[in-house]
Chain A
Amino acid sequence: MSGMQDSLRELYQEVIFDHNRNPRNYRPLPAANHHADGHNPLCGDQLTVYLQVEDGIVRDSSFVGHGCAISTASASLMTEAVKGKPVAEVEALFRDVHALLTEGREAADPARDFGKLEVLSGVKEFPARVKCATLAWHTLHNALVGEHETAHTE
């Protein structure tokens, strides 16, 4: 088995398939007070991220849209990861995940425990697919900072 096949298995792990088949928090959020759209025109991937923020804490989070397994799983994992976290911590997580996906583990906060999100780091070996994994996170960031422009990764 070549390195490419190893990399493929590192990326397409059961966690990814599970979250692609049964995405968590896949619904609009009527109580949301933050939301943003994300679009990757190159892939056609499109999603909306909803956040309900109260007293500086992300109380609930969800998404709807369509995309490849990587982008769907990334969005699903993200909505789980941010729930219950203070906004400042979510922003720090966004920066660390972005660093993890684009530059590697060493670029992120050494103290950061990525938990299940670690699985996404497999995209590093697939430069053409990094944008699939980062789309939801850019959209999350836009939703938090109240950016109304659609987030794009391409």
Chain B
Amino acid sequence: MNAPCDPGAQTPILDLAADFPILSRPLHGRRLAYLDNGATTQKPAAVIEAEARFYRESNANIHRGVHWLSQHATELYDGARATVQRFLNAARADEIVFTRGTTEAINLVAQSWGRPRLAAGDEILLSTMEHHSNIVPWQLVCEQTGAVLKVIPVRDNGELDMAAFAGLLGERTRLLAITHVSNALGTVNPVAEMTRRAHEMGAVVLVDGAQAVAHQAVDVQAIGCDFYAFSGHKLYGPTGVGALYGRAELLRHMPPWQGGGDMIRTVAFDNTTFAPPPQRFEAGTPNIAGAIALAAAIDYVQGVGLARIHVHEQALLDYGTRALAAIPGVRLVGTAERKAGILSFLVDGIHPHDLGTILDAEGVAIRAGHHCAMPLMTRFGIPGTARASLGLYNGLADLDALVAAIHKAQELFGTRGGTASGNGRVA
């Protein structure tokens, strides 16, 4: 295993794969190199056990039972909310709404904050690098209200065009909806600065934190944003649970967007009154076990330390960037100055989907395709990319396996050495 040749380069400092049971299973007779953390992360035993333990020892519905188990489950669920609050450094626990994930959190804001407030001609500002989940909910609310989308362009290196951002912010800008970290490029956006400038224009700011929370410490008060959304499953937690942070002042004036049990104060056929936030936005029995396991994931990540995770992943990113750049015929897509651990790339003469299939046979799991960011792919004039995305349990061996598998694919396709013998119709 070769260390990066730059003596100033950091080296990976974590060795935690043993905490993740799935990583010890071979894949197609090979050691599994799991490099699809941008899609979802694997779960440590502590998280799997937390979810199982809830069902074994504590399962009951919350907020309604006088019996002990129900009170106990309620305490665990409320405790999970407090854990998320501390994780994001929110001022209050009632600023945390549990959702199914980032997508539902954004839809909640679109329908509950946006739909009643937006009018024809109002502008929603987002960027070319947004995931579909931070585009489509706004398109829906635009159809409902007559508001229009404005799009911040992306530069060739994958950074936002900040001059264009300044020009697009205007009197009609009501909302800035921006991703913290690009899932397809790894770009880390200057969300605190963007929030400050949007607030100067009187706009509200939502930050999509799906790709950020597992890789760097997030402080919503330091960012200053009004909403922040993330998913548990990209943070070593379970699928089907995530959270929305919303400033209390805004949540208080937002109507419910789904009706049902648990979100009401009183129900009568002539007058139903609603519970205060966050219950107002959590209709029905929530994913109780998921929220508790999400808290266990946060405990795990904080036990390791987000600062150390960041150092580790940046060292891997640096190593991987050099290793891929050294392969003839490989081109990185997304070379922003500030990046999270995402390596999006193209290999001359090999379509990303062919590459994904061949890498998989070598035990290397990556994502190939448009990464739910079709407008971004269109902007770069490509159908998709191959994407290796890093997690805290990855090591240099995973990146070495990636490089070896790319060489293998080039051999198979007869493109080794960068002589593209493809038909040239795929960028």
- B423/A23 in contact, CB under 8 A: yes
- Asked if A22 is at the interface (CB within 8 A of a chain B CB), the reply is yes
- Asked if A139 is at the interface (CB within 8 A of a chain B CB), the reply is no
| The 3 nearest A-B residue pairs measured at CB | A44-B383, A2-B29, A4-B28
State how many residues of chain B have any CB contact under 8 Å with chain A: 26
CA A11 – CA B358 in complex, angstroms?
10
Q: Which B residues from 98 to 113 make CB contacts under 8 A with A? A: none
| Mask of A58-90 contacts with B, CB within 8 angstroms, 1/0 | 000000011111101000000000000000000
**Distance from A21 Cβ to chain B, minimum over Cβ atoms (Å):** 6
- A5/B28 in contact, CB under 8 A: yes
- Asked if B307 is at the interface (CB within 8 A of a chain A CB), the reply is no
Query: Of all chain B residues, which has the CB nearest A26?
Result: B423
Known: A44-B383, A46-B383, A66-B383. 18 other contacts (CB 8 A): A8-B361, A11-B357, A12-B412, A17-B413, A20-B422, A20-B423, A21-B423, A23-B423, A43-B384, A44-B370, A66-B425, A66-B426, A67-B351, A67-B426, A68-B351, A68-B352, A68-B354, A128-B357
- Asked if B17 is at the interface (CB within 8 A of a chain A CB), the reply is no
CA A128 – CA B360 in complex, angstroms?
12
- Asked if A132 is at the interface (CB within 8 A of a chain B CB), the reply is yes
Q: Which residues of B contact A22 (CB under 8 A)?
A: 423
User: Given A23-B423, A44-B377, A132-B353 in contact, is the A4-B361 Cβ separation under 8 Å?
Assistant: yes
- Asked if B421 is at the interface (CB within 8 A of a chain A CB), the reply is yes
Candidates B30, B354, B412, B425; contact of A70 at CB < 8 Å: B354
Q: Which residues of B contact A46 (CB under 8 A)?
A: 383
Candidates B357, B369, B383; contact of A129 at CB < 8 Å: B357
User: Given A2-B29, A68-B353 in contact, is the A45-B383 Cβ separation under 8 Å?
Assistant: yes
Query: Of all chain B residues, which has the CB nearest A70?
Result: B354
- Can you sample 21 A-B contacts with CB below 8 Å? A1-B29, A2-B30, A4-B360, A4-B361, A5-B28, A11-B357, A17-B414, A20-B422, A21-B423, A42-B369, A42-B370, A44-B369, A44-B377, A44-B383, A45-B383, A65-B425, A66-B383, A66-B425, A68-B351, A69-B350, A126-B357
CA A7 – CA B297 in complex, angstroms?
37
**Distance from A65 Cβ to chain B, minimum over Cβ atoms (Å):** 8
Query: Of all chain B residues, which has the CB nearest A72?
Result: B423
Q: Which residues of A contact B426 (CB under 8 A)?
A: 66-68
- B421/A21 in contact, CB under 8 A: yes
**Distance from B392 Cβ to chain A, minimum over Cβ atoms (Å):** 27
CA A2 – CA B29 in complex, angstroms?
6
Q: Which A residues from 99 to 134 make CB contacts under 8 A with B? A: 126, 128-129, 132
CA A11 – CA B29 in complex, angstroms?
19
Q: Which residues of A contact B421 (CB under 8 A)?
A: 21
- Asked if A30 is at the interface (CB within 8 A of a chain B CB), the reply is no
CA A21 – CA B350 in complex, angstroms?
10
Q: Which residues of A contact B377 (CB under 8 A)?
A: 44
User: Given A17-B414, A43-B383, A72-B423 in contact, is the A2-B28 Cβ separation under 8 Å?
Assistant: yes
Q: Which residues of B contact A11 (CB under 8 A)?
A: 357
Query: Of all chain A residues, which has the CB nearest B368?
Result: A43
Candidates A3, A17, A26, A129; contact of B353 at CB < 8 Å: A129
- B28/A69 in contact, CB under 8 A: no
Query: Of all chain B residues, which has the CB nearest A12?
Result: B412
Q: Which residues of B contact A26 (CB under 8 A)?
A: 423
- B358/A69 in contact, CB under 8 A: no
Query: Of all chain A residues, which has the CB nearest B382?
Result: A44
